[in-house]
Amino acid sequence: MPYVIAGPCIDVMDKSCVEECPVDCIYEGDRKLYINPKECIDCGACEPVCPVEAISQDRRVAAEQVVFVADNRNFFVEVLPGRDAAIGAPGGANRTGRIGVDTPLVGER
């Protein structure tokens, strides 16, 4: 099961997790970070370094944060505002750089 980043990351984006990720699967939106479920190898290196405890396995997300499981996936499979195509699985966040836009759910918070 891949890891996901939930609501506590909004407007924090410490990026300690980015430094720990061995496969570069953590992408930067505008106000939140997102883990690409197709690229995550489920190693868990990101989870203990998150200062706001926003990261967990998708099946272990707190009940009040479960909406972020689908939202994390949507960041990659849906066309985000201002973009022409979905991000998909480009093979690492360094290939895309900062995305600079969030999902509608994050925009509402």
What φ, ψ does residue 27 adopt, rounded to 5°?
A: -105, 150
Domains of the chain: residue spans and CATH? 3-96 (3.30.70.20)
Per-residue model confidence (pLDDT) at position 1: 65
DSSP state of 91: S
Which position has the token pair 């506590």? Answer: 8
How much is the pTM?
Answer: 0.95
Burial 54-68 (b: 16+ CB within 10 A, else e): bbbebeebeeebeeb
Each residue's pLDDT tens digit, 68-77: 999 999 999 9
Q: Read off the amino acid at residue 82.
A: G
Low-confidence ranges of the chain (pLDDT < 70): 1
Strand partners of residue 26: 35
The pLDDT of residue 33: 98
